[in-house]
Amino acid sequence: MTDRLILAQISDLHIRADDDGASVRQLRAAMAHAQDYKAEALLLTGDLSNDERPEEYAALAQALRDAPAPVYVLPGNHDDRQQIRSALGAPAYLPADGPLSYVIETLPLRIVMVDQIVPGETHGEFTRAQAAWLDGVLSAKPSTPTVVALHHPPFPTHDVLFDTIALRRQDLFADVIARHRQVVRIICGHHHRVIVGQVAHAPVVVAPSTSWAYGLAIHGHQPIAPRTAEQPGWMLHVWTRAGGLASHFMGI
């Protein structure tokens, strides 16, 4: 097994069928860029569609046929689990029913994908059942460097809007992570901007959106989630056994 891994994290694609192909073009640009960097896997961390429409998932599936590396998906609060399964041809890595949580074991770095969405809601929820599942998965390989991926950031970001539609039971998530020192990074999306935080010992990186960037409001008088001129983009994560994990913002 190699001692190096290059991962592309693409988040908050918001594929639409009524935007003259703009969201698909942004996704294709990110994938082409990832290919330039020889990414060995593409992790899509939620909000794959904009409105959970079949035509949006069909456009996503068509674009992903040109993916330069294996693709692994998570749902976000704009997604429908069953439509993801159907549109992507029920890939073998996805559970056949229930939440789309699973483990990628075929890469040098172990990756645990945690589906914590609440259908019909914009917030996320980390339940006791999910905590038991994650604790069991992490306990199975305590010496293997691991990344945990989810959609909603698992820490307070101090954004006036997004902290009201955040992951609930962040304390429960932190309790699980604290027991597993092999978790070297947590990655997520949802905010459409790059944010760096921490849960227990593990750094957290929030990826931008490939479609548009949101500004930040931390005071009541500031505009809530304004679209800004900041670049959309994606994250490139490079891991080595000797040096650990470095994460780079890549603009589109």
CATH number, domain containing residue 102: 3.60.21.10
- pLDDT score, position 161: 95
Q: What are phi and psi of 250, to 5 degrees?
A: -120, 110
Amino acid 229: pLDDT = 87
pLDDT per residue rounded down to tens, the chain (252 residues): 689 999 999 999 999 999 999 999 999 999 999 999 999 999 999 999 999 999 999 999 999 999 999 999 999 999 999 999 999 999 999 999 999 999 999 999 999 999 999 999 999 999 999 999 999 999 999 999 999 999 999 999 999 999 999 999 999 999 999 999 999 999 999 999 999 999 999 999 999 999 999 999 999 899 998 899 899 999 999 999 999 999 999 999
Three-state secondary structure call for residue 25: helix
Assess contact for 73 and 48: CB atoms under 8 A.
Answer: yes
Q: What are the beta bridge partners of residue 168? A: 125
Nearest to 193 by CA among 179, 205, 209, 177: 209
Tell me how many degrees the CA angle 108-36-89 measures, rounded to the nearest 5: 65
> CB–CB of 76/189 below 8 Å?
yes
**What pLDDT shows up at residue 1?**
60
| Domains: count for the chain | 1
Tell me if 204 sits within 8 A of 154, measured CB to CB: yes
Q: Do residues 213 and 190 make contact, with C-beta atoms less than 8 angstroms apart?
A: no
Q: Residue 224 belongs to what domain range? A: 4-251
What was the pLDDT predicted at 158?
97
Residues 6+ apart with CB under 8 A from 184: 109, 145, 146, 147, 202, 239, 244, 245
State the burial class of residue 38 (Cβ atoms within 10 Å of its Cβ: 0-12, 13-18, 19+).
exposed
pTM: 0.96
110 token code pair: 């172990």
Question: Residue 9: what pLDDT?
Answer: 98
